[in-house]
Structure 1
Amino acid sequence: MIAVLVIDMQNAFFEEPVLQRRQEEVVAACNSLTSAAREAGAKVLLVGTEHERDKSTWSLNMLDDDQGFIFRGSDQARFVPGLVTADIPQMVKTRDSAFMGTDLGMRLRNWEVETVILAGVSAHNCIAQTAADAFAHNLRLIYAAEAIATENPEAAEAVLRVLTREYRQRVLPLDEIKALFGSGPAGAGA
């Protein structure tokens, strides 16, 4: 079984000018990916970051700077306009990796997932950390090329180069990913 995880497609991250310029195209790519996945019977999960104002969920850099963001219920925490969210399960995280401190591993086991496809932002942070943890959970991983963005292309390229080489993770265009969905029940054997 294949699952698509759409990571951090939230207003806060698209305040960054580099990501803001790519917002429409990344949203369209994410929507195309999730639509194809759902049509094929694959699982889709929207993952967002949220923090509490009392600092209890803040990461070390937030504590060091005494500045939090993406507070629960804020406009920053909302998914970006245009992203299809209706009837798609959602999960909240407080760290870069979607596995850290969440029930993601259990959800994927319950869904009998063997391959995870990642989309969203940012390639060098939350996408990369989630990918590394997917490897630690013995999950195959594919990066949806057009559906991933970053505000730091150099760091993203370096991190993805290591992850694809060392962890045998693949970066594929949407057309090839969509073809995987057609290779049996919800992409079995991807």
Structure 2
Amino acid sequence: MTDPSPRSRAPWRAPLDRTALLVVDLQEAFFEDQALAAHREEIVARARQVIRWAEREHLPIVNVRTVHQRDRSTWTITMLEDDQGFLFEGDEHTANVSELDLSAAIEITKTRDDAFVGTDLESTLLDLDIEAVVVIGVSTHTCVMLTAAHAFALDIEVALVRDAIASHRPELHELTLDTLRDEYRFPVLSPDALCRVTATADRAPA
């Protein structure tokens, strides 16, 4: 009988057991934006599909959330210029989107678009012997892009899951994915293609 979901090897060099799923800013606050809210159901469904894949393959899941302090100590330059903070610690909308269960994930909180800046993300991945990350989340042209580029600078391979990544500026979504693919050679996969990647493929006959 033919397997309806053929096993495949990962389109990155690192072994699957050295790969982690990196979830970026899938928080209620970002889906208050109309552009993201309009596609919430689809984005969340695809993110859930990818999370289930990572759980099936027993991969570490690292969940990154943006959280700021009310005393302005963590605010960015533009937040200070606008005299307007957001995503304050303790506010309900800093939570993960309600449809996703990330209770078992490793939690990282950040205050900048780049998830490596001012956090222990790099040391966390190092401690886990991670050589590649699969990235999902928002927004494509800001936090996803800068975090992925920083991973590349650390010699960590990156794969992007197209339909589980989105932007509050849709006109920049495809442009950013194309740039990351062309300039950094990041694989850009559909969730269905990613879910065909399995550790057992490494043991399958060529």
Q: Give the TM interval when normalised to the shorter protein.
A: over 0.9
Number of the residue aligned with 1:20: 37
Number of the residue aligned with 2:133: 116
Aligned-partner residue type, residue 147 of structure 1: A
Q: State the TM-score, normalizing by the size of structure 2.
A: 0.86
Number of the residue aligned with 1:165: 182
How many equivalent pairs are there? Answer: 185
1:66 to 78, 83, 86: 83
Secondary structure at the counterpart of residue 28 of structure 2: coil
Q: CA deviation at 1:127?
A: 0.4
Give the RMSD, CA atoms, in angstroms: 1.4
C-alpha separation in 2, matches of 1:88 and 1:181: 20
1:139 to 144, 153, 156: 156
Greater shift in the superposed pair: 161-170 or 121-130: 161-170
Greater shift in the superposed pair: 119-128 or 170-179: 170-179
Aligned-partner residue type, residue 75 of structure 2: W
Secondary structure at the counterpart of residue 44 of structure 2: helix
C-alpha separation in 1, matches of 2:174 and 2:143: 14
- Off by >6 Å, runs of 4+ in structure 1: none
Aligned-partner residue type, residue 43 of structure 1: P
Which structure 2 segments of 5+ residues have no match?
1-17
Number of the residue aligned with 2:119: 102
Number of the residue aligned with 2:54: 37
Secondary structure at the counterpart of residue 76 of structure 1: helix
Which structure 1 segments of 5+ residues have no match?
186-190
C-alpha separation in 1, matches of 2:56 and 2:177: 29
Contact 2:19 2:131 (8 Å CA) reproduced: yes
C-alpha separation in 1, matches of 2:178 and 2:56: 31
1:177 to 194, 199, 204: 194
1:103-144, Cα deviation, whole Å (9 max, x unpaired)? 111111111111111101110110001011011011111111
Q: Does 1:83 align with 2:97?
A: no
Q: State the TM-score, normalizing by the size of structure 1.
A: 0.92
Aligned-partner residue type, residue 149 of structure 1: A
Secondary structure at the counterpart of residue 65 of structure 2: strand
Contact 2:24 2:135 (8 Å CA) reproduced: yes
Greater shift in the superposed pair: 166-175 or 59-68: 166-175
Number of the residue aligned with 2:9: none
Aligned-partner residue type, residue 140 of structure 2: A
C-alpha separation in 1, matches of 2:41 and 2:25: 15
Contact 1:8 1:47 (8 Å CA) reproduced: yes
Q: CA deviation at 1:148?
A: 0.7
Identical residues among aligned pairs (%): 39
Q: CA deviation at 1:184?
A: 4.2
Secondary structure at the counterpart of residue 69 of structure 1: coil
C-alpha separation in 1, matches of 2:156 and 2:190: 20
